[in-house]
Chains A and B, each alone.
With several copies, the nearest count.
Chain A
Amino acid sequence: MESAILDQLRSDKILELLKQGKRLDGRSLDEQRPLTIETGVIPKANGSARIKLGNTEVITGVKVQPDKPFPDLGDKGILICTAEILPLADPYVEPGPPTEGVIELARVVDRGIRETEMIDLHQLVLIEDKSVVGIFIDSSVIDSAGNLFDACSYASVAAVLSSTIPKYEIKDEAPVLVEGITSKPPVKTLPVSVTMARIGDYIIVDPSKEEEICMDARITITTNSAGNICALQKGGSDGFSVEQLIKCSEMALSVGTKIRKKFEQLM
């Protein structure tokens, strides 16, 4: 609360710099912060990744286990993405049930992976309508410094790419783990989430925490390997013009291509 004046001064500075085509941390408007991806960080999980996007840091673990399919979806495996901001990641996060912001975060990450059909869920059926493989992708933000949407999405995709799927046999109608045999997950495409903020008339890619504080609106666009747009979420307390929305879709594709190359190296 005491920092309201500081926030205002910083916002003024950010806007002033944007008018000169600059950002507080020296990036160009369509430039992401440095991204580093490390996989296999949680050996006990079926897949895992620790990513840093600037100062934002996320660990994602993938657990694969047999499960019952959802009703009416008996021909598909289960895919569940969650996201959580650990209380050690941010002085303003408190332990307890998830806020609406965290629920949105988790659902946007989930939809990015689900709507691009990254994983072929039909290949995860053990007995139709009865027994399937479930893939649980749980992201924990351990340092929160802006753009958690992309950070959690990248960590989730990287963790999936690093996963191994155990083999299950059916005995007495129940799935039994076959030791020592695993396969890669059935990945069909590489989703890339790109989040942009509007500050005044400017669109910037990958907003930092400081930029998020003064942004007018936010948009997250997920594209697939074929260059299609597959999921989108507008956020924030103001809107976008149609031209801005079209510009954002183009930025999502161009920025996404660079990120996708990083993912391809993990395959």
Chain B
Amino acid sequence: MKIMTQLMTEDGIRCDGRRVDQLRNISIKVGVLKNADGSAYIEFGKNKILAGVFGPRDVHPKHMANQDTGILRCRYHMSPFSVTERKNPAPSRREIEISKVLKEALQPALILKDFPRTVIDVFVEVLQADGGSRCAALDAAAVALADAGIPMRDLVSACAAGKVADRIVLDVNNEEDQEGQADMPVAIMPNVGKVTLMQLDGILTTEEYKTCLQTAIGGCRTVYEIQRKALVEKYFESGDK
């Protein structure tokens, strides 16, 4: 109970000062790495995440290559200093699961059949973690794929919604994730209109479920505008590349 009152004031103001439908500050920089074929850096609230993309390129080991299609690999990794208690650098089961979920969220946006026998590698490094790091990672990864010049059907834009102090809120932060009632990360292909990532931890009524999903998708659409702007800025406004 005491936790609930801390997470939201009576006026619906959240512990970090946001309204229930308000995103945290987001900034995206495109092309931040020299060696990667494409890259992006996102700050999403206190999340600080780098994404780098290589490919399409030859597959090693070779027996993993597929004659009929390109393959997508994804690695989500947290730096030892990214969380409160120092994290062991070896990948945890949580990181391996998120890597898979991110891969499956990005895959629908790619046209892998056009690049048989190759691999596209997406590497995500969480330098500082806050609530919603998998959504922020996905937002950066999608932009990095575009920056790598890989043909895409659409971007992928991600944002969580959740339930805090009995209300549905957009973009769950770290405190809300840990002590709130539900967290629902969602990713969409904004133009195709498909949900490509969705998870839920926590308890929702069926009505809350629908509201939460719509709230998250609204957030994804706002994120999409920020992703687009970051790409436009790099490719069409600064004039270089």
Contact = CB atoms under 8 A, between A and B. Distances in A.
Interface residues of B, number: 67
Nearest to A80: B86
A86 interface: yes
A104 interface: yes
B206 A249 contact: yes
Interface stretch (A11-19, A24-32, A238-246, A258-266): A238-246
A104 B85 contact: no
B115 interface: no
B111 interface: no
B150 to A, nearest CB: 15
Interface in B140-195: 184, 188-189, 192-195
B199 A142 contact: no
A41 B50 CA distance: 13
Interface in B50-89: 50-52, 54, 57, 60, 68, 75, 77, 79-86, 89
B203 A116 contact: yes
A154 to B, nearest CB: 17
Interface residues of B, dominant DSSP:
mixed
Interface stretch (B4-12, B22-30, B120-128, B222-230): B120-128
A236 to B, nearest CB: 6
B101 to A, nearest CB: 8
Interface string A227-258: 11111111111111110011001100100000
B206 A234 contact: no
Interface in B1-55: 33-37, 39, 46, 48, 50-52, 54
Interface residues of A, number: 66
Interface of B: 33-37, 39, 46, 48, 50-52, 54, 57, 60, 68, 75, 77, 79-86, 89, 91, 93-94, 96-97, 99-101, 104, 107-108, 121, 123-125, 127-129, 184, 188-189, 192-206, 209-210, 213-214, 217
